[in-house]
Structure 1
Amino acid sequence: MGGKLIKFLKHLSITRKVMLSCITLLVIGYIFCLPRQLFHVPYSTVVTDRNEELLGARIASDGQWRFPPRATTPEKIKQCLITFEDKHFYHHWGVNPLSIGRAFYQNTKNKRVVSGGSTLTMQTIRLARNKSRTVSEKFIEVVLATRLEFRATKEEILSMYISHAPFGGNVVGLDAASWRYFGHSAEDLSWAESAMLAVLPNAPAMIHLSKGRTTLLAKRNRLLKQLFEKKIIDSSTYELAISEPLPDEPHPLPQIAPHLVSRFYQERNGAYSRSTIDRGIQTQIEDMAERWSNEFSRSDIRNLAILIIDIPTNQVIAYCGNVHFEQQKGGYQVDIIQAPRSTGSILKPFLYYAMLKEGSLLPHTLLPDIPININGFTPQNFSLQFEGAVPASEALARSLNIPAVTMLQKYGVPKFHHFLQQIGFKTINKPSSHYGLSLILGGAEATLWDVTNAYAEMGRILLVQKDDAYNILSQNEKAHILLAMNGEEETNTYELFNHQTKNKQSPFIIQKEGLKEASGAAWQTLSALTEVNRPEEIDWKSIPSMQTIAWKTGTSYGFRDAWAVGVTPRYAVGVWVGNATGEGKPGLVGAQTAGPVLFDIFNLLPSSSWFASPTGIFVEAEVCKQSGHLKGRFCEETDTLLILPIGLRTEACPYHHQITLSTDESHRVYENCANTEPTIQKSWFTLPPVWEWYYKQHHPEYKPLPPFKAGCGEDAIQTMQFIYPSMNAHIKLPKQMDGSKGFMTVELAHANANETIFWHLDNSYITQTQNFHNISLQPSPGKHLLTAVDSKGNTVSTTFFIE
């Protein structure tokens, strides 16, 4: 074949060879004359809800409202455009010779341009090239238009045109024009509206809403009449259409979820983005946020943020990043959902969950609630009171700080820090030593986005009940929280929420074998959180219509941040209230501000029944009723509770002891003590002295141990304990107003309230106390030994350092 071609070319004359070469070059040039990308223009950032209803948009970088190109053209617009601009659109190859001939004759006769003769395909090329209208440019348009017809379908050409046609002012494209002129989408245009938009690109500078309205109306009605004559519309539709008035002025674009739209603008500038927001719920949440913001503004609390996640689908359905977006002052432009804020107590449930899951805690284990000083760190409860000992579940429900600190001390700050990072707290990114024990009390910063998702993840675990639940959960993790779709394929979707979605398993589950422990721990944690007192101060359990909600509040140091997060099987709701500037306010407390907003939201959302109890996870165990530990040898009152199997490893009750009492229980005796009176053996619940000191003030039923019979030996059980300072504490003495060195206050608890205590510092006697055992000291810098001796000779000592 190649040989024949060469032989054929040899027999051609030079002229014919030149002609053949020119033809070949022309054909090649024609094939490649059309750019691969026809339009090189910036587009507006457009964000819609899950049903593709517009939430908002941001103008293109060239100042034009030009929405991203459409894939299809609405039928009404299509009929109007073809009737008005190019009646033979479906029958030519980009050029209509008759139209061009007619235009040439009319323009020559009138000695000016009165008709263009361009087809819709040629107009599409002209819009893409944006060149001056000359004879040579018209020739180029003809060539490129025919080439475009070979590349694209008629529907694609129509979509290109309608997406880039000018509609007056800075409005470009059908979608922008529909929203700007009529306040709704192009799919909802009436015949009158479609006809008006079809005639506008013909002369957008001469006829528009503020200029040439009479001409615009006449053109629109003339087109409607043509549609009626062609029987595209019937007589009643025609009469209704011509009676519709023109819009008075452009409409502002919707401003729904403006902070989310701004976020898309920053991350996907110029793209069309479909989110999972439910526009109906979003608008109700924004209205509610405005009402609450007006209420809080009386206390100079200006900012409020709300996030709602649909737990089963793992999708955000409402995103209120702040209020009053239109105002430039007051921090209203700040998207609080993405802003790191001090966590307050909002992380406590995750520590409770982690300790349950690893078997270092049972749900109701007694925890100390006493004054503590850990290397100068002296946490306080919000109430500034101490209760001695509190069950872990109650401490969580009441958000007590001291039990939480002791839990974290036992669990380990590095381990908890690592766990928080695993479950998606991206802003907790400093070394664990930076936070220390304050990590559990607001020493770290987190975003409302991460906090709400972490709570939602805990709820999502409980939706998985079957043996193949692990695989189901893995699929859920692939679900996108916020999607911005360029097409139908998953590869074209955009993951705005990239928090752990790339993992194939829940961040709460490190291994497949840990699913049961995770589900059980999540169940126990959320169950404890249903006991948190609600803002309504009513017995909500007695009202059948009120749904069960697990919720938690948080208040940061200095009253700068108020948090509330709630979980049901359907929704996770996160609320933040405060000032974006970080300014604290006395009334800025989670339970008083964010809490009422949270329950107002749940009253708005559809209710759901509580999580089904996990099956095949828990085992029955006998637990001491008073201590919450596993039943010990001497525990008499017990409960049978369902606990995680790993919980069987925990310590048996250390607080019940068997003691020998006189028959009247007035005093104790040692078994090896010379004693002739009858005695009895009895189990006794005894707390450490410091715990006991505070515990008995809140529990009148608590009975301290009776004293020993006189002359019957030393007490084998510790009767006194230092409250402050703790062993090996490093203390920095404060300065007084005059600049002189201040004092430290030493405090001690004794089982016998009336006991006399003799104090010794560095083996030197200094004073004695009775009833209230606290003294003020002013030690010199260095190491010191403090010893306390009671009247029976019992001693206790502690070492501390003055810096």
Structure 2
Amino acid sequence: MRSRRSTLVRFSSLVLAAGVLVYGYLINQRAQLIAPAPTPILFDRGGAFLAQIGHADGASGRIDYGYWPLEQLPDRVVKATLALEDRRFYDHIGVDPYAVGRAAWQNLDTVGRRSGASTVAMQVARMQRPESRTLIHKALEAGTGVLLTLRYGRDAMLGQYLRLAPYGNGSHGIAHAARLYFDKPVADLSWAEIALLSAIPQSPTRMNPLRPEGLRRAIHRGHQMLDALAKQKIIRADEAEIAHRQLDQMRMPDIPRRPDALHLILRFHDLIENGQITPASTSTPLIHTTIDLTLQADVTALSRQYLDHWRSAGAQQVGAMVVSRQTGEVLAQVGSSNYYDRHAGAFDYTRTQRSPGSTLKPFVYALAFERGLLKPTDMLLDLPEGASGIGDADREFLGPMLPRQALANSRNVPATNLLRSIGLETTFRFLRDLGLHDLETPADYFGLSMAIGSLPTRLDRLMRAYGALANDGQMQDLRWAREQPQPQSVRVISLDTARLITSFLSDPQARLPSFHRYGTLEYPFPVAIKTGTSQGYRDAWAIAYSEKVIVGVWIGRGDDGTMSRMTGAGSAARLVHAILDRVHGNKPGDIADARFPTPPDRKPMQVCVVNGQTNDNSCSQTLVEWLKPDEMPKVAARSAGADTNLKPEPISATGERSPNYSLANADASNPQIRLAISTPARNSQIWRNPEQPAAFDRLPLKADVQPHVPQIVWYVDGQPFAVTDPDKPVFWPIQSGEHRFQIRLPYRDETSAVVPVYVQ
């Protein structure tokens, strides 16, 4: 019998020891001070509330804010908190034996009010690891509270409690609650405000101060706290009387509401999450953004107003940005017409890659100037010869043009010829250096159409790159907040080139005949503007800059569908004009006597648009061009009659023959006949316009045969297509896909090299 009893005792002791070990292990694992990262509050550039960035609970959908650490424990808040939550805080080590005994005695009477015994330390343990309120979890909270107190000390426990405690409406921590409810630091709270806030953590939902009933309950408990403080002689009688009176008169101020700018706030969320914006202080994580909320509201209203006019033409979405020209500070951003719009409104179109149309052309011209491949007096040809199947929306060719005219008129053929002269890879790398893309795709994939829209980019990237043109070639990152580190600006284009391109884009006379005077592209103050329209009218763009701001607008559809003849100049430019008028406060009839800074080493000269020569008063059409001394043409303009016969070569034709030329292999035993395909160029990327009439959807095929022969045979995809005189072009109906072109001679073995072409 004694042996059995001894065995039972030993077994019970082992079980007890194991339980103690497990208990000790569990509380040791829990006894760490942990807290979510402090969540910031965002303000606009004038100090108006913009938003809070919180921690989202994926399971419940709840968003929690605050968790601001306290650099110093505010004495009055500590006293008020302990008066309500843990009066003997400094007399125990995490568990209050008196409170435990009182709770056990009162809870024996299950009919009466149940009493709790949680100390500040136990509440910290529970807030760090919320669990169901069972006896086992209560025991774990008690042990964890004791170990936390022994490990970190009482002041650390108070600081952790005041950081984690819930104060209703998603707010955690007294410092955040003071800023949320009273817009002041915690150290500036009055006794009445402290009493109100200290009452809330007991039951944040029942004592929600933003609800009348909750405010009444919080005020009632706040009075109890003030009475306790007066009884403990922590506050004087006169202070208590004033606090009671202020508490009775307490009216909660309206909590600031987030503006209608969800895409903008989500961008700030990402910037903060990625570490690109960091609050200056973790104890008071306030972020002062560069956003002008008044301008933001106006740009949003204008964007929706103009988009409503264009919905009948198939437009469904809009993106817009306004950036300070000098500082790069983002003043406004509209990501879509409405985040909740059923037409893919949740996408932020300032961050979505789209076809940029012609908006990359200024950078192609800038690179040509930088590399010495282009001068302002060179003549660029806008002709079907050498166009590689590329044309313009108006299906016209304007002939020889000055670079100023070619860019201002946004002609496609001169731009692609320039791209060919510069080189695909060189241009591709330059556009990547400007931040317009981060692709590793081979440049050949985009081909010559890189200059007219095949290389995708984003509105925010265009804004940054156009900032380099607007700021004399110095590129700086977009700045979103004062707390955002701002690296030094980097020179990407020379001052001379940047100002020359700006003069091209701000010259209304040079835009003729493609864009008429006094339309959407003309302003009563200096504005440089470039529009773009992608293939099939899927995207309409306009980017403009004045002395104050850079404005960018995109119009399109979230499903990448086509719109009905929605061009950049006819739609996006109108919205840009309205935004610039708003920024400048411009009224009808206002005219500013100003212009952009001119290139410092250049002088204005009247240049004949027909041949690029200086005018001797015999040329009927001239433009003012800014020329360096070594660029001054020495030959006067011809007469008007002679001008009509002038046939200058394009810039791409002044050097050696293009490497894309494909010559046939010569037969040494016969008179040498060289066969080459001059159009289309090898590996051309051609975009087919599905809205264009079939009669115009054709690709010209042109041959270069030396010496001349009577006939050649064109082969397309290995099949004979046409027999023709080599000096006459053949037109092939464009079909989507990859195609291979070749020339052969009838009854002979000579062939040209195969020229692959890609049609989209």
TM normalised by structure 1 equals 0.63
**Residue of structure 1 equivalent to 2:67:** 69
Distance 1:785 1:318 in 2: 58
Amino acid at match of 1:550: A
Amino acid at match of 1:38: L
Residue 401 (structure 1) aligned with residue 412 (structure 2): yes
The amino acid that maps onto 1:110 is: Q
Rounded to whole Å, the distance in 2 between the matches of 1:333 and 1:742 is 38
For residues 171 and 421 of structure 2, the distance between their equivalents in structure 1, rounded to whole angstroms, comes to 64
Deviations 1:416-444 (A, max 9, x none): 22211111112554322222221222122
Aligned to 1:729: 679
State the match for 2:664 in structure 1. Answer: none
Task: Provide the aligned C-alpha RMSD in A.
Answer: 5.4
Q: Which moved more, 1:62-71 or 1:453-462?
A: 62-71
Partner of 2:99: 103
Give the alignment of 1:327-346 within 5 angstroms. 327=341, 329-346=342-359
Amino acid at match of 1:218: H
For residue 33 of structure 2, the aligned residue among 38, 45, 61 is 38
Q: 2:370 is matched with which residue?
A: 357
Counterpart for residue 727 of structure 2: 786
Hey, what does 1:314 align to over in structure 2?
A: 328
Among 571, 590, 602, the alignment partner of 1:593 is 571
Q: Offset of 1:400 from its aligned partner?
A: 2.5
Amino acid at match of 2:563: K
Q: Could you tell me how far apart the structure 1 residues matched to 2:260 and 2:696 are?
A: 58
Q: Which has the larger radius of gyration?
A: 1
Q: What CA distance in whole angstroms lies between the structure 1 residues aligned with 2:743 and 2:425?
A: 26
Secondary structure in structure 2 of the residue aligned to 1:525 = helix
User: What is the CA distance between 1:341 and its match in structure 2?
Assistant: 0.7
Task: Tell me if structure 2 keeps the 8 A contact 1:57–1:253.
Answer: no
Change (3 A) 1:88 1:683: closer
The aligned counterpart of 1:508 is 492
Cα 1:49–1:371 shift into 2, 3 Å = same
* Deviation sequence 1:340-391 (CA, Å, 0-9, x none): 111111111112222233333333543323334544x1312x3333332333
Give the corresponding residue for 2:692. none
Does the 8 A contact of 1:122 with 1:145 survive in 2? Answer: no
**1:412: how far off?**
3.2
Identity of aligned residues (%): 19
Aligned equivalents of 1:190, 1:588: Cα separation in 2: 60
Q: Displacement of 1:573 after TM fit? A: 1.8
Residue identity in the other structure for 1:315: E
Aligned counterpart, 2:467: 456
Task: Give the alignment partner of residue 348 of structure 1, picking from 344, 357, 361.
Answer: 361
Residue 290 (str. 1) matches residue 294 (str. 2): no
Q: 1:521 aligns with which of 491, 497, 513?
A: 497
Equivalents in 1 of 2:31, 2:618: separation in Å?
Answer: 83
Question: Once the two structures are superposed, what CA deviation does each residue of 1:738-772 show, in whole Å capped at 9, x if it has no partner?
Answer: xxx99999999xxxxxxxxxxxx9649xxxxxxxx
> CA contact under 8 A between 1:729 and 1:800: conserved in structure 2?
no
* Compared CA separation, residues 243 and 556, structure 1 to 2 (3 A): same
Please state if 1:411 is matched with 2:422.
yes
Note the 1:151-162 alignment, pairs <5 A. 154=155, 160-162=160-162
CA separation of 1:246 and 1:57: change in aligned 2, threshold 3 A:
same
The within-5 A match list for 1:616-695 is 617-620=600-603, 624-627=607-610, 629=612, 642-644=626-628, 648=630, 685-686=642-643
For residue 218 of structure 2, give the secondary structure of its aligned residue in structure 1.
Answer: helix
Change (3 A) 1:557 1:654: farther
**Does the C-alpha gap of structure 1 residues 383 and 236 become closer, same or farther in structure 2, counting only changes over 3 Å?**
farther
Mapped pair 1:138 → 2:142: yes
Alignment of 1:709-748 (within 5 A): 728-729=678-679
- Pair 1:257-2:261 in alignment: yes
Supply the distance in 1 between the matched residues of 2:337 and 2:699 (Cα, whole angstroms).
48
Number of positions where the alignment pairs a residue of Structure 1 with one of Structure 2: 621
Cα distance in 2 for partners of 1:430, 1:522 equals 28
Deviation at 1:642, TM superposition (A): 4.3
Partner of 2:444: 433
CA distance in 2: counterparts of 1:86 and 1:396, whole angstroms = 76
Cα shift readout 1:496-542 (whole Å, capped 9, x = no counterpart) = xxxxx87x662615xxxxxxxx1111111112212248999649999
Please tell me whether the aligned partners of residues 66 and 171 of structure 2 are also in contact (alpha carbons under 8 angstroms). no
- Residue type matched to 1:567 in 2? Y
Equivalences for residues 242-281 of structure 1 within 5 A: 242-244=248-250, 254=258, 256-263=260-267, 265=269, 274=287, 276-280=289-293, 281=295
* TM-aligned CA distance change 1:432 to 1:217, over 3 Å: same
Aligned to 1:11: none
Partner AA of 1:138 in structure 2: A
Measured at CA, do residues 206 and 437 of structure 1 come closer, stay the same or move farther in structure 2, by a change above 3 Å? closer
SS of structure 2 residue aligned to 1:582? coil
| Unmatched 5+ stretches in structure 2 | 1-23, 280-286, 586-591, 650-675, 689-694, 703-707, 712-719, 730-740, 745-754, 756-760
Note closer, same or farther for the CA distance 1:197–1:371 as it changes in structure 2 (3 Å cut). same
1:223 positional shift:
4.7
Distance in 2 (alpha carbons) for counterparts of 1:279 and 1:683: 54
Is the CA contact (8 Å cut-off) linking 2:318 and 2:556 kept in structure 1?
yes
Within 2, Cα distance between the matches of 1:540 and 1:590?
10
CA distance in 2, matches of 1:744, 1:278: 49
Q: Aligned partners of 2:50 and 2:317: how far apart in 1? A: 25
Using a 3 Å threshold, how does the CA distance of structure 1 residues 358 and 620 change in structure 2: closer, same or farther? farther
SS in structure 1 at match of 2:381: strand
User: 2:710 & 2:432 partners in 1: Cα distance?
Assistant: 49
Residues 82-101 of structure 1 aligned to structure 2 (within 5 Å): 82-86=79-83, 100=96
> Which residue in the other structure is 2:667 paired with?
none
Following TM superposition, by how much is the alpha carbon of 1:560 offset from its aligned partner in structure 2, in angstroms? Answer: 0.9
Deviations 1:171-194 (A, max 9, x none): 644588679x96978879998766
**Contact kept in structure 2, 1:559 and 1:584, CA below 8 Å:** yes
User: d(CA) in 2 for partners of 1:190 and 1:628?
Assistant: 80
Q: Does 1:216 align with 2:227?
A: no
Q: Give SS of 2:69's match.
A: coil
Contact 2:506 2:529 in 1 (8 A): yes
Equivalent of 2:379 in 338, 342, 366: 366
Q: What is the identity, as a one-letter code, of the residue corresponding to 1:563?
A: W
Distance (Å, rounded) in 2 between the aligned partners of 1:592 and 1:204: 55
SS in structure 1 at match of 2:318: strand
- Label 1:588 to 1:801 Cα distance change in 2 as closer, same or farther (>3 A): same
| Shift of residue 142, structure 1, vs aligned partner | 3.6
What secondary structure sits across from 1:524 in the alignment?
helix
Equivalents in 1 of 2:332, 2:697: separation in Å?
Answer: 54
CA contact (8 A) 1:302 1:579 kept: yes
Give the whole-Å Cα distance in 2 for the aligned partners of 1:540 and 1:783: 47
1:305 equivalenced with 2:319 (yes/no):
yes
Task: Provide the secondary structure at the position in 2 that maps to 1:785.
Answer: coil
Corresponding position of 1:55? 51
CA contact (8 A) 1:338 1:449 kept: yes
User: Contact 2:416/2:451 (CA < 8 Å) preserved in 1?
Assistant: yes
Could you list the per-position Cα deviations for residues 621-670 of structure 1 after superposition, in whole angstroms to 9, with x for gaps in the alignment? 9775445746699999999964357xx3x69578967xxxxxxxxxxxxx
Residues in 2 aligned to 1:636 and 1:537: alpha-carbon distance in whole angstroms: 22
> What's the TM-score, normalizing by structure 2?
0.66
Cα separation, 2, equivalents of 1:368 and 1:276: 48
Q: Tell me, which stretches of 5 or more residues in structure 1 are unaligned?
A: 1-28, 463-472, 486-492, 496-500, 510-517, 658-681, 693-725, 735-740, 749-760, 765-778, 789-798
Q: CA deviation at 1:392?
A: 1.9
**C-alpha distance 630-204 of structure 1, shift in aligned 2 (>3 A):** same
Alpha-carbon deviations, 1:151-206, whole Å to 9, x = none?
A: xxx5x765533332134586644588679x96978879998766443211113365
Cα deviation, residue 255, structure 1: 5.1
Q: Does 1:442 align with 2:437?
A: no
